[in-house]
Amino acid sequence: MTTKATNIHPVFDRILGREDKEQFLHQNSKLIWMTGLSGSGKTTIAIGLEKELQKRGYLTQILDGDNIRTGINKNLGFSDEDRTENIRRIAEVSKLFLNCGIITINCFVSPTIEIRDLAKNIVGEEDFLEVYVNASYQECEKRDVKGLYKKARNGEIKNFTGLDAPFEAPENPFLEIKTSEMTPEESVEKVVNAILTKLIKDSKVENK
């Protein structure tokens, strides 16, 4: 005789929930999604933000191409389909971190509004703080910190965002940082102030 299942996901009712983790960490988790061209300064700002948040007692996790595409997404390329799957997996991983009460800082080109909306819909709009790290293609090509622009110009990288693949700027981001007009330190300070203000405003647990 087969017993009919009464709950498809019974474990969800038994494990500790997000509020339990947030109370334990004395913080509310948010997803800070940094979008912009390669070389615009996303990871530099994220590292600075993480250090400043840690000084104030916040637990964070940075996700970027280095720790995602060398691990969970190492089997994906840069076709439209693979870019979408890349962002979908990242958003699902981010949701798990949010459920652990961890402030997650993501640094991904994520070039289209549609693909960022996919991530936003997975984690929830109320937790999704979009930061547009704004630097022109010309400025990023001058920096070319990873040598990607040179490879793209030489045809070694196909579907390179800004060259032969589009980048759609956010229409209404939580914050915009123009890194060609600011020093890295000024950029980090602006993001830190905005994020701290948001965290304190939305806090349901004891403030840091």
Question: In this structure, what CATH number is given to the domain that contains residue 149?
Answer: 3.40.50.300
**pLDDT averaged over every residue in the chain:** 89
In a domain, 168, yes or no: yes
Residues that are catalytic:
110
In a domain, 1, yes or no: no
Alpha helices, DSSP H, located in the chain: 18-25, 42-55, 65-68, 80-99, 113-123, 137-143, 148-153, 184-202
In a domain, 116, yes or no: yes
Q: What is the pLDDT of residue 129?
A: 97
What average pLDDT does this structure show over 30-37? 96
Higher-scoring residue by pLDDT: 120, 150: 120
In a domain, 10, yes or no: no
- Domain span at residue 24 reads 17-201
Within 10 A of 69 (CB to CB), how many other CB atoms are there?
A: 17
What pTM was estimated for this model as a whole? 0.87
Q: How many domains, in total, are found in the chain? A: 1
In a domain, 193, yes or no: yes
| Sequence-ordered list of residues with C-beta below 8 angstroms from that of 200, at least 6 positions apart, any chain | 207
- Which has the closest alpha carbon to 37: 126, 113, 108? 108
In a domain, 4, yes or no: no
